[in-house]
Amino acid sequence: MKIGALSAETGVSPRLLRYYEEQGLLTSFRADGGHRRYGPDAPVVVRRIRTLLAAGLPTKVIKDVLPCASGSGDVLDACTLGQLRGRLTGLDEQLAELQATRQALAAILTATERAGELVGAA
């Protein structure tokens, strides 16, 4: 399968497909003339990559867990549980930090609005 056909079938740009290949997520071979050719499983692999990216996994992690993917990519072998749990814990920590930052900003905004109301009333 040529890169254009893979792009058309998956909706992923050729540039992004080349990036996936550079990151070791997708493999191709060179046909006569040096053009990239992908195997018949390439559309499935690309869909798995997209599914894992949508779940917030960086390409470095995807490279490690992709061989454990089955089906559309939303089910992985148990050997990946540690990585997935670690990533989820990291996201939970980021969410908590963002919530604390939001609360601090909201408190400053409220105090500033009240101070402006007091100045306007004087």
Give pLDDT tens digits for 17-59.
999 999 999 999 988 888 899 999 999 999 999 988 998 889 9
pLDDT at 32: 82
Whether residue 73 is predicted with pLDDT greater than 70 in this model: the reply is no
pLDDT at 8: 97
Task: Tell me the whole-structure pTM to 2 decimals.
Answer: 0.73
pLDDT at 72: 61
**What b/e string do you get for 87-116 counting C-beta neighbours within 10 Å, with b at 16 or more?**
beeeeeeeeeeeeeeeeeeeeeeeeeeeee
Distance CA 79, CA 75 (A): 12
φ/ψ (deg, to 5) at 69: -80, 150
Q: Please give the C-alpha separations between residue 114 and each of 57, 77, 118, 119, in angstroms, as whole numbers.
A: 43, 55, 6, 9
Average pLDDT, the chain: 90
Confidence of residue 14 (pLDDT cuts 50, 70, 90): very high
Whether residue 71 is predicted with pLDDT greater than 80 in this model: the reply is no
